[in-house]
């Protein structure tokens, strides 16, 4: 949020308080009760807004978190694609040597699922 937006938000809240005061006066609330009623209304709006903010923070639904999550998913996909292309460009003996260093069998490299114990399926 920019400084200008913050100032506009503050002015909007001030205007909301003034509008509430005017509405309560128009419906017949008199004296100090008008100001108190307008203040309570403004307080409830601010508490509700703060509550939604806290829910977004706790739930990880903040703008930065969402952007980071999207960036990470795109980065992982691009990296996986690039690594797969580099692996496929290697000669067969280099691929086998690399798989042996990683402890992976031929079938796992070809996409065959491993058993839950982690050993390659025969």
Number of domains composing the chain: 2
Supply the range of the domain harboring residue 96.
66-107
User: Mind listing the pLDDT tens digit for each residue in 28-53?
Assistant: 888 878 888 888 888 998 899 899 88
pTM assigned to the model: 0.46
Q: Domain check: are 70 and 51 in the same one?
A: no
Whether 92 is covered by a domain: the verdict is: yes
CA dihedral 77, 80, 83, 87 (to 10 degrees): -130
Tell me the residue ranges of DSSP E strands in 10-52: none
Whether 33 is covered by a domain: the verdict is: yes
Whether 114 is covered by a domain: the verdict is: no
Q: Domain check: are 55 and 71 in the same one?
A: no
Does residue 72 carry a pLDDT above 50?
A: yes
Q: Which residue has the tokens 């490299």?
A: 109
List Cβ<8 Å contacts ≥24 apart for 96-104: none
Whether 1 is covered by a domain: the verdict is: no
- Tokens for 30, please give them: 């008199």
Whether 11 is covered by a domain: the verdict is: no
């Amino acid at each position: 949020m920019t400084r200008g937006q913050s100032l506009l938000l503050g002015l909007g809240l001030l205007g909301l308080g003034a509008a509430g005061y005017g509405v309560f006066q128009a419906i017949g609330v008199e004296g100090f009760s008008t100001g108190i009623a307008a203040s309570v209304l403004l307080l409830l709006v601010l508490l509700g807004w703060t509550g939604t903010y806290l829910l977004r923070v706790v739930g990880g639904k903040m703008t930065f978190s969402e952007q980071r999550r999207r960036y990470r998913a795109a980065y992982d996909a691009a990296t996986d694609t690039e690594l797969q292309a580099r692996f496929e460009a290697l000669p067969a003996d280099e691929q086998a040597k690399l798989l042996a260093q990683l402890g992976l069998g031929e079938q796992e490299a070809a996409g065959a699922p491993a058993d839950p114990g982690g050993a390659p399926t025969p």
